[in-house]
């Protein structure tokens, strides 16, 4: 696999501090369970995907916001540690984003978050970053920041000729007009149902959901299916294809989707074919589940290449 070329990736998204509690089982409503470990990690879908893209070979610029609290400076310093350009991250007079994450012994998780500064990311921040977006190979987006800002960023990137990859997470609806301006839309099963009304339970329903996304205007659709892999569809009328994920001993799947997105952005930005990009992203995401934490679990490029073999 050719890995020498640097993809320019712009990421607009949330920057959080994650508080993670590990326990044997996840609590049911009204239940209290005893935790086995507590850790604090930098997180947020946007920041996670930016770090993944940087560690997997991309040149990355982050667009977003942190608070002027005790966590904001830590979060910025952490992004810079991975050589991510933070010149378009504003420090706002509010709290930074906070996520509370519960993880069981099988690696499954429950997450609740407070947007903080992420909820104030607005059009002016997109406008400030227009030059960076125009110069990027890919703009990578999620939905932890206000949806209206994300849709504005999609329109801006489309008008500037920059490919958009939209990871519609956490699950929320976006307009069909937004989908039409995306090079790739990549929801998981839950997010795909929100966008299409089709419950995804197997390969056939993944195909149905992907087909619906293409009918809505998305250029290409990827339905991520966790440990099963990812279903991709490039053109209406085709059968699509399930790219299986490699088997690993998973202990924490909290950042797997973000690693997949960051890996995909770097590969597609380099001009790699979609099925090859998904194959690489599957391996990067699977490898991330073998370690605890969001960003600490993101593998380096050399580790993914060694894992692929």
**Strands across the sheet containing 16-23:** 35-43, 16-23, 97-103, 109-114
- Of 115-124, 170-179, 284-293, highest mean pLDDT: 115-124
Q: CA torsion sign, 122 to 123 to 124 to 130? A: positive
What mean pLDDT, rounded, does the chain reach?
94
Per-residue tokens: 123: 């059009």
User: What average pLDDT does the segment 7-17 reach?
Assistant: 97
Residue 75 confidence (pLDDT) above 70: yes
Domain 7-27+34-308 of CATH type 2.60.40.2130 = no
Residue 149 confidence (pLDDT) above 50: yes
Rounded to 5 degrees, φ, ψ at 36 are -105, -20
Which residues are catalytic, by number?
258
pLDDT attached to residue 5: 63
pLDDT band at 203 (very low <50, low <70, confident <90, very high): very high
pLDDT digits (tens, 9 = 90+) for 19-60: 989 999 999 999 999 999 999 989 999 999 999 999 999 999
Name the residue ranges covered by the structural domains of the chain.
Answer: 7-27+34-308
pLDDT attached to residue 1: 38
Tell me the percentage of the chain whose pLDDT exceeds 70.
98
pLDDT digits (tens, 9 = 90+) for 34-44: 999 999 989 99
pLDDT digits (tens, 9 = 90+) for 251-302: 888 889 999 999 999 999 999 999 999 999 999 999 999 998 778 899 999 9
**129/108 Cα distance (integer angstroms):** 36
Least confident of 57-66, 166-175, 178-187, 274-283: 166-175
Helical pair 256-269 and 45-55, crossing angle rounded to 10 deg: 50
pLDDT digits (tens, 9 = 90+) for 158-168: 999 999 999 99
Nearest to 91 by CA among 74, 108, 107: 74
Per-residue tokens: 41: 């990690």
193 neighbors 273 (Cβ within 8 angstroms) = no
């Amino acid at each position: 696999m050719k890995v020498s070329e640097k993809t320019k990736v712009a990421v607009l998204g949330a920057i959080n501090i994650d508080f993670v509690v590990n326990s044997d089982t996840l609590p049911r409503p009204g239940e209290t369970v005893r935790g086995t470990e507590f850790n604090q990690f930098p997180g947020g879908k946007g920041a996670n995907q930016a770090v993944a893209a940087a560690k997997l070979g991309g040149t990355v610029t982050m667009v977003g916001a942190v608070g002027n609290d005790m966590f904001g400076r830590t979060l910025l310093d952490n992004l810079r540690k991975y050589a991510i350009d933070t010149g378009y991250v504003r420090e706002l007079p509010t709290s930074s984003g906070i996520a509370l994450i519960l993880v069981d012994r099988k690696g499954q998780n429950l997450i609740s978050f407070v947007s903080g500064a992420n909820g104030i990311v607005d059009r002016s921040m997109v406008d400030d970053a227009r030059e960076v977006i125009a110069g990027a190979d890919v703009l990578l987006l999620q939905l932890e920041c206000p949806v209206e800002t994300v849709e504005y960023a999609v329109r801006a990137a489309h008008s500037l000729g920059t490919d958009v990859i939209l990871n519609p997470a956490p699950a929320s609806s976006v307009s069909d007009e937004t989908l039409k301006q995306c090079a790739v839309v990549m929801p998981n099963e839950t997010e795909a149902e929100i966008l299409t009304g089709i419950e995804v339970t197997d390969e056939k329903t993944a195909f149905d959901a992907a087909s619906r996304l293409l009918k809505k205007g998305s250029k290409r659709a990827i339905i991520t299916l966790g440990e099963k892999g990812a279903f991709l569809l490039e053109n209406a009328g085709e059968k699509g294809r399930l790219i299986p994920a490699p088997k690993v001993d998973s202990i924490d799947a909290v950042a797997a989707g973000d690693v997949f997105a960051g890996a995909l952005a770097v590969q597609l930005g380099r001009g790699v074919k979609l099925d090859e990009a998904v194959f690489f992203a599957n391996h990067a995401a699977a490898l991330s589940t073998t370690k605890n934490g969001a960003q600490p679990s993101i593998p380096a490029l050399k580790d993914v290449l060694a894992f692929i073999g």
